[in-house]
Amino acid sequence: MGNSPKKLRVGLIFGGRSGEHEVSLASARFVLANLDPEKYEIIQIGITHEGVWLVGDNALEVLAEGVSANLKANPLTPATLLPDPTRHSIYTIHPQGKKGEIIKHLTDLDVVFPILHGTFGEDGTLQGLFELSDIAYVGAGVLGSAVGMDKDVFKKVMLAQQIPIVEWVVFERKQVENDMDSVLEQASCLAPFPLFVKPANLGSSVGITKCRNRADLMEGLLEAASFGRRILVERGLVAREIEVSVLGNDQPEASIPGEVIPDHEFYSYEAKYISGGSQLLIPAPISAEKTQLVRQLAIKAYRAIDCAGMARVDFLLEKCTGEIYLSELNTIPGFTQISMYPKLWEACGLPYPQLVDRLVELALERKAELDHTVYRYR
């Protein structure tokens, strides 16, 4: 009787310092349920709202209940990942004496599976730590993550690729705070109302406002400015929301498209995660030509920003003209029970557990490919 194959040690990271902390926990719960314990040894790594890393077998449950910032009352153990390429490990942190601390090796990691949406998780910052640590990780690298997260830069790249996007203008928070009249004037010149206002570096519809008049616009700008340094104002469309899931590294594949029918005026945070009344139509009831177009554009956008592993690409189908516009690309899409990304792959014949397996495989494949890179000039 042969030995059973060694389990892969997977560090599942969730929570984080962003407005999407709770969404991350919901996604991580779903991923955890679909990681086969026969294949993987799973190390739960939770990051609090304050940015403290914590480990424990029930880290997800503790963070969901609202972990105390007071670590003495905390059932989890503080932890860290070092930016050292010779140590692919997670370390725990322990008090030593009155003011000192020591770190202890907890376990090596074969791959990290980050399920952190938004700031400090999806924007390339965490990916930079993984690169410094020389550890395999699921999803896009530093460049793809950063560009995918920044709505302004992303639109500029799409424009250069001749991919249709909705007209926009960007303001800095200081402009909103110090010269609101000028910002209102410039934003109003972009297009007739309604306009959409959103933080340039946040997802999950956090901080987005549909503005029907100047008063709404002022309120929306202040709301978005509270979530980010740069604020994007976009022409409002009366449109259908079409989404495509992409999977792969150098040879990405696109799923069939799906359509979101929000139970709010647009696919807001409440419509996505709280009310539960939005409908997902899979496949999207659009023509074969439009289906082919959005799948092609999704892969083109994915390649353009050097994405890897996974992404959900969102489109707007303008009702009055039938025109397709690429809205955004999410490098760490939602993985909740109601999320479009896994549902689209399930409809394509790739069930949830196999999808998670494939994402881990892609992370290891990408790391093996990157290991061929020479970093020392001879």
3.40.640.10, 3.40.190.290, 1.10.3720.10, 3.30.1490.20: CATH of 168-235 = 3.30.1490.20
Between CA 206 and CA 229 the distance in angstroms is 14
pLDDT per position as a tens digit, 12-25: 999 999 878 998 99
Percent of the chain with pLDDT over 90: 80
DSSP 356: H
Higher-confidence residue: 72 or 363?
363
CA 213 to CA 215: how far, in whole Å?
Answer: 6
Q: Picking from 5-9, 165-169, 248-252, 290-294, which range would have the lowest pLDDT averaged per residue?
A: 5-9
Q: How far is CA 47 from CA 44, 64, 89, in A?
A: 10, 11, 17
- Measured in degrees and rounded to the nearest 5, phi and psi for residue 177 equal -75, -35
Instruction: Report how far apart, in Å, the C-alpha atoms of 239 and of each of 47, 216, 266, 325, 350 are.
Output: 37, 20, 9, 10, 29
The topology (CATH level 3) of 8-137 is Rossmann fold (3.40.50)
Q: What is the pLDDT of residues 126-137, one digit of tens each?
A: 999 999 999 999
pLDDT at 176 over 90: yes
Tokens for 341, please give them: 């990304």
> Which top CATH class is 148-164+238-369?
alpha beta
On the question of pLDDT at 374 being above 90, the answer is no
Contact between residue 344 and residue 243 where contact means Cβ atoms under 8 Å apart? yes
Within its chain, how far is the Cα of 268 from the centroid?
Answer: 16
Q: What is the pLDDT of residue 142?
A: 98
Residue 235 in this model has a pLDDT that exceeds 70: yes
The residue to which tokens 């709010």 are assigned = 264
Q: Give the per-residue pLDDT at 288.
A: 98
How many degrees, rounded to 5, is the angle at CA 227 between CA 222 and CA 228? 95
Alpha-carbon radius of gyration of the chain: 21
Whole-number mean pLDDT of the chain?
A: 91
Q: Where are the domains of the chain?
A: 8-137, 148-164+238-369, 168-235
pLDDT band for 1, please (50, 70, 90 cuts). Answer: very low
Burial 334-346 (b: 16+ CB within 10 A, else e): bbbeebbbbbbbb
Report the alpha-carbon distance of residue 368 to residue 262 in Å, rounded: 41
Residue 293 to residues 77, 164, 247, 312, Cα–Cα distance (Å): 49, 11, 17, 15
Pairing of strands 111-115, 8-15: parallel
Interatomic CA distance for residues 203 and 228, integer angstroms? 11
Band the pLDDT of 263: cuts 50, 70, 90. confident
Residue 78 per-residue DSSP state: E
Average pLDDT (29-45) is: 97
Q: How far is CA 334 from CA 26, 156, 162, 238, 356, in A?
A: 9, 25, 27, 24, 13
The pLDDT of residue 275: 47
What is the pTM for the complete model shown? 0.91
pLDDT at 5: 74
8 Å CB contact between 171 and 230: yes
For 54-63, write each residue's pLDDT tens digit: 999 999 999 9
pLDDT tens track for 186-200: 999 999 999 999 998
Is pLDDT of 72 > 70? no
Q: Helix (H) and strand (E) counts for the chain? A: 12, 18
